[in-house]
Amino acid sequence: MDKEIRKVVIVGGGSAGWLTCAVLAAEHCANSENGLQITLIESPDVKTIGVGEGTWPTMRGTLRKAGIRETDFFRECDASFKQGAKFAQWVTGAKDDAYYHPLVLPQGYSDINLVPFWTEHADKVSFADAVCFQSHLCEQGLAPKQNTTPEYAHVANYAYHLDAGKFSTFLQKHCTEKLGAVHILDHVEGVNSHDNGDIASLQTRQHGALQGDLFIDCTGFNALLLGKHFGIPFKSCKEVLFNDTALAVQVPYPDEQSAIASHTISTAQSAGWIWDIGLPTRRGVGHVYSSAHQSQDGAEQELRNYLSASIGKKANDLTLRKIDIQPGHREVFWHKNCVAVGLSAGFLEPLEASALVLVELSAAMISEQMPATRTVMDIVARRFNDKFRYRWDRIIDFLKLHYVLTKRTDSDYWLDNCRAETIPQELQSLLQLWRYQSPWHQDFTQIDEVFPSASYQYVLYGMGFHTQPGATQRRSANERLAQQHFAKNQEMTRKLLSGLPTNRELINKIINYGLQTI
Amino acid sequence: MANHQLLDNITHKDIKVITAQHPQYGDNHSYARIVPSELKAAQADYPLFFRKNNETGQFEIIAMFGMAEQENLFLDDNGWHAHYLPLSVQRRPFLIGFQSSNDPATPEDKAVVHIDMDSPRISQTEGEPLFLEQGGQSPYLQHISAVLNALQQGWMHTQAFVETLQSLELMESVNLKAKLDNGENVELAGLYTIHEDKLRELSGEQVASLHKNGMLELIYMMDASLQNIARLIALKNKRLAAK
């Protein structure tokens, strides 16, 4: 049964479904006769979840490759610039306790590890401020580029905040009008199988049996194909990451020209944390917490208290939406001729915006490794599963890192987070190692690692972790070079602070005039 | 700095405008915006480039006069030494303003002439009069109206030209680097020109279409103007040597 792979069926019309569709349809010429046929079927009833309002810088490449104009994306998705995250009250819980995880790598990252040199001045300047100009830009609410910078190009590396609902609609239009994908609105009522257990077709209410060679399950928490049909078990990671409930709210600005934060603000609470994402027309805010440590009423109160700091009494009038979440992922993601992308593959709290980037990474690998025939599909599936198990593990480790370095003892939640039995073995080993050496290139082994060692540096030293100076000398530890990089960072900071517009100013200009492609 | 007033034949009855070009009149700009209808004349004197407007980020066409801020190598105390003076230089100290229309039949904003009363060109004694004895427009003011009109049409024409070029990927960014006789290196960024390789790869059909809408000529004028870069550098070296 060495059948050629000609037709892909994507089930689910949320951001995972349409983003996967855009990546595959653009690369595999779905709009030409010799290209791959791509159909997306979406139930007219099922509401999309609409989480994942933060992306990674990878989204720029993903959109560009799909043939999307960045100007259109800004205009139609209520998008804004994101230059990383600010973590407030994660270490001591004090009012002024905050650190940055920017998207720009530390100065000279390919040449020199600045950690040992910064350590000597750790009491005077934060790690991020010393090695990177981006935290300074965020503090001033500046954009990461100018309106003369071409589309997708940057002055400071950036990602996006976006309205996930509008994003799906935007991608749908692009996929169906430009990229040649077929869109079907119908219910999937059953699955018809081949003798070998593969999915032969999906039984729909109005369109009969929808056949395909590869089926992509983007049905959200339902996991209609991989979970319900194939019964692939779900692997919970709640014993590591406790948060299982979110209360989300849309917050209006005081006026149309209010400043838009150019970073995600994550503020720790007694049993969870609050995300705060600035879009041009509103803020998206939510409290994600552990229901084992906090009641819904208590969580709601903390959220409203947080909001009242910026919008006063209006905080009590806003309607909250409760979302139950199960932290974890499927044991395998690609089974037979079916692969899950998005929430159907798994979900983790949005602490480092890992949801959409996992969709991008999955779609990119499916696209690049699109099996030519059914026989080789099993090889691709095995490699896909290995790679993504590794990725989920690394993301879980990295998220947990934000918790284990806390010095907070004000609730069981923080105490429990630091108990050794809740910390994955690999992370424990690394933490032990990093007492004597700082994270560096060889700590992570894959070429396309989800989080580079720089990210670990930002979190570790942002949270006050101490790495002992080496007992013996190293030739590469060049004091003069280090001082040059610190000076260069100061110079770039000065230059960019005076040369960049505010996030709001630039977004207004993009909406009014647009960016150029060159 | 600027004092823009709507021009009328009562308030500005006795005003004269000095039309000579001289550094003291604020003519020492290193470039000026030009419009497509000027390309043929301008390319004989100046290097022409596309450049993004700082305010809008949109492309405009410029004629380059110098390689540093406030440097106009065509200008000295004896005047402006070139055959062609761009419209946006000629128009000074006038500019186009818009007045909202009160007439529901033509609701579009009306283009009107404004004058910058703080310009050093404004005089009571020397220069060209704006109005005739009876209040009618002087030949000079009629010329200025025509210039402003051509510029207004020209900005729209520029947009169409740039959009067409971009749809064919016919623009590319260039960094201008030159070593001067005194050893100094000059580098100018943020400039764009015609992508010559892409131009050569156009299909016959595409070329025919560009020819039909008059843009093929504009493209070659832009491209030919780059010969004037050498001239600009020579002027710069001459000025350095004279110092």
Q: In this structure, what CATH number is given to the domain that contains residue A189? A: 3.50.50.60
Q: Which CA distances in Å does A492 have to A117, A480, A498, B21?
A: 19, 18, 10, 40
Interaxial angle between packed helices A503-512 and A70-77, expressed in degrees from 0 to 180 and rounded to the nearest 10 = 100
Amino acid A80: pLDDT: 97
Residues in chain B within 8 Å Cβ distance of A512: 56
Q: Do A148 and B190 touch (CB under 8 A)?
A: yes
B54 → chain A, closest CA residue = A148
> Is A146 within 8 Å of chain B by CB?
yes
Amino acid B196: pLDDT: 96
Amino acid A50: pLDDT: 58
**pLDDT at B103 exceeding the cut of 60:** yes
Whether residues A362 and A383 fall in one domain:
yes
Respond yes or no on whether the N-terminal peptide bond of residue B93 is cis (omega within 30° of 0).
yes
Q: Note whether residue A156 is domain-resident.
A: no
Instruction: With residue A340 as reference, give the H or E element that holds it.
Output: strand A338-340
Amino acid A245: pLDDT: 97
Q: Within 13 A of A133's CA, how many CA atoms are on the CB side?
A: 24
Residues in chain B within 8 Å Cβ distance of A147: 52, 56-57
Give which of A496, A177, A248, A224 is closest to A343, Cα–Cα. Answer: A224
Q: Where in the sequence is the domain holding A492, given as residue range(s)?
A: 103-146+397-499
Amino acid A2: pLDDT: 79
Looking at residue A470, the DSSP 8-state letter turns out to be P
Q: What is the mean pLDDT of residues B85-103?
A: 87
Residue-wise pLDDT for B115-150, tens only, equals 999 999 999 999 999 999 888 899 999 999 999 999
ipTM over 0.95: no
- Spans of chain A below 50 pLDDT: none
- Angstroms from A102 CA to nearest CA on chain B: 27
Please report the residues numbered 123 through 182 in chain B whose beta carbons come closer than 8 angstroms to any beta carbon of chain A: 166, 171-173
Amino acid B242: pLDDT: 87
Which two three-digit tokens encode residue A169? Answer: 């609609």
Residues in chain A within 8 Å Cβ distance of B172: 518
What residue type is B234 in one-letter code?
A
Of the three residues A340, A372, A393, the one that is the final residue of a domain is A393
B171 → chain A, closest CA residue = A518
- Angstroms from B156 CA to nearest CA on chain A: 14
A517 → chain B, closest CA residue = B166
Rounded CA separation A127/A101 (Å)? 10
- Angstroms from A265 CA to nearest CA on chain B: 30
Residue-wise pLDDT for A296-316, tens only, equals 999 999 999 999 999 999 999
Q: Do B57 and A509 touch (CB under 8 A)?
A: yes
Residues in chain B within 8 Å Cβ distance of A515: 57
Going by C-beta distance under 8 Å and a sequence separation of 6 or more, which residues neighbour residue A320? A247, A248, A249, A300, A303
Amino acid A442: pLDDT: 86
Residues in chain B within 8 Å Cβ distance of A517: 166
Whether residues A412 and A467 fall in one domain:
yes
**Which residues are registered as beta bridge partners of A283?**
A251, A278
Whether residues A418 and A494 fall in one domain:
yes
Amino acid A473: pLDDT: 81
> Is A468 within 8 Å of chain B by CB?
no
What residue type is A364 in one-letter code?
A
Amino acid A51: pLDDT: 54
Q: Note whether residue A153 is domain-resident.
A: no
pLDDT bin (cut points 50, 70, 90) of residue B98 is confident
Whether residues A211 and A342 fall in one domain:
yes
Residues A422, A427, A428, A432: what is their CA dihedral angle, to the nearest 10 degrees? -150
Residue ranges per structural domain of chain B: 4-242
Total domains in the fold of chain A: 3
B170 → chain A, closest CA residue = A518
Instruction: With residue B96 as reference, give the H or E element that holds it.
Output: strand B94-99
Q: Do A518 and B56 touch (CB under 8 A)?
A: no
**Contact A193/A199 with Cβ under 8 angstroms?**
yes
- Angstroms from A56 CA to nearest CA on chain B: 25
Of the three residues A295, A324, A353, the one that is the final residue of a domain is A324
- Angstroms from B56 CA to nearest CA on chain A: 6
**A165: three-class secondary structure by DSSP:** helix
Sheet holding B48-52, edge to edge: B31-34, B59-64, B48-52, B185-194, B171-179
Whats the size of chain A, residue-wise?
Answer: 518
**Contact A363/A19 with Cβ under 8 angstroms?**
yes
Whether residues A468 and A347 fall in one domain:
no
Q: Within 13 A of A446's CA, how many CA atoms are on the CB side?
A: 13
Q: Do A147 and B192 touch (CB under 8 A)?
A: no
Give the global pTM.
0.91
Residues in chain A within 8 Å Cβ distance of B166: 516-518
Amino acid A446: pLDDT: 77
pLDDT bin (cut points 50, 70, 90) of residue B81 is very high
Q: Note whether residue A512 is domain-resident.
A: no
Give which of A166, A44, A57, A34 is closest to A103, Cα–Cα. Answer: A57
Whether residues A419 and A463 fall in one domain:
yes
**Contact A341/A352 with Cβ under 8 angstroms?**
no
Q: Note whether residue A87 is domain-resident.
A: no
Residues in chain B within 8 Å Cβ distance of A148: 52, 54, 57, 190
- Angstroms from A425 CA to nearest CA on chain B: 51
**pLDDT at B156 exceeding the cut of 80:** yes
Q: How far is CA B84 from the centre of its chain?
A: 11
Q: Do A515 and B57 touch (CB under 8 A)?
A: yes
Amino acid B100: pLDDT: 75
